[in-house]
């Protein structure tokens, strides 16, 4: 009888270890699933490809931008995420640990409806930000921050669903040279000198095509001394 009880005890103990290991394994899989991998070698196929300094995730199905680059010696200067059905951009969830070298981010043709405040503040060298052909309805200075404004020279919001702007929206973008707002007819009532303020004094190209503009205030662009429309 004692031998039988001892045998049952051993079986119970081993079964608990097995269950614990399975739980740990499941947890590990969850942690791993928080990442997408890029720049693998020929033995490890990844969704995103790396070529020189370009990380190309176009049409890859990547929705999670928490991307781990396997090749440690690869420097990302341009990251492309076109046609990936991305819906939300989150702070510290875009190329974490690799933001320091990125000069261009391209999110064309996605389903982006929301951008968390300060999302681009980690990208201290970014010059070009492309968010055209998405579903954004609003944008403000909490996304287009003072930190972002220190380096950003090109910003494209073509073909979104913007319904409003405020006098503070572009207030920090003092180095901006190109601003694309085409195909946003809902913004026409906001095209005035308060929106296009002196903060945009370095702007050289303003794209307002396909906005169905019929009437504008005479001084709408009075603060834009160098701009080409």
* Domain spans in the chain, listed from the N-terminal domain onward: 1-33, 38-207
* Residue-level pLDDT at 8: 47
Question: 177-201: per-residue pLDDT in tens?
Answer: 999 999 999 898 889 899 999 999 9
Tokens of 30: 């969850």
Dist CA 89 CA 115 (whole Å): 5
* Residue-level pLDDT at 22: 38
Domain covering 38-207: architecture: Alpha-Beta Horseshoe (3.80)
* Residue-level pLDDT at 25: 41
Question: 92-116: per-residue pLDDT in tens?
Answer: 999 999 999 999 999 999 999 999 9
Threshold 0.75, pTM exceeds: yes
Flag residues of the chain having pLDDT under 70.
1-33, 41-44, 229
Beta strands in the chain (DSSP E): 36-38, 49-51, 54-56, 67-69, 78-80, 88-89, 104-106, 114-115, 128-130, 154-156, 178-180, 205-207
* Residue-level pLDDT at 229: 67
DSSP 73: T
* Residue-level pLDDT at 1: 53
Nearest residue to 112 (alpha-carbon basis) of 63, 152, 47: 63
Q: What is the 3-state secondary structure (H, E, C) of 47-68?
A: CEEEECCEEECCCCCCCCCCEE
């Amino acid at each position: 009888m004692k031998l039988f009880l001892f045998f049952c005890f051993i079986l119970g103990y081993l079964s608990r270890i097995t269950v614990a290991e399975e739980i740990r394994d499941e947890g590990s899989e969850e942690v791993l699933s928080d990442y997408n991998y890029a720049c693998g070698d020929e033995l490890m196929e990844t969704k995103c490809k790396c070529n020189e300094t370009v990380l190309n995730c176009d049409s890859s199905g990547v929705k999670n931008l928490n991307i781990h680059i396997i090749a440690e010696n690869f420097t990302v200067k341009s990251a492309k995420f076109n046609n990936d059905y991305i819906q939300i951009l989150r702070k510290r969830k875009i190329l974490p640990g690799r933001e320091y070298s990125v000069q261009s981010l391209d999110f064309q043709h996605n389903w982006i409806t929301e951008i968390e405040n300060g999302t681009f503040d980690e990208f201290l060298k970014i010059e070009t930000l492309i968010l055209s052909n998405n579903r954004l309805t609003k944008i403000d200075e909490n996304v287009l921050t003072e930190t972002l404004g220190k380096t950003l020279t090109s910003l494209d919001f073509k073909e979104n669903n913007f319904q409003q702007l405020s006098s503070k929206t572009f207030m920090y973008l003092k180095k901006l040279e190109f601003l694309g707002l085409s195909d946003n007819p809902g913004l026409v009532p906001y095209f005035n000198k308060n929106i296009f303020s002196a903060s945009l004094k370095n702007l050289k190209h303003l794209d307002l095509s396909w906005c169905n503009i019929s009437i504008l205030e005479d001084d709408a662009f009075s603060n834009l001394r160098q701009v080409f429309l």
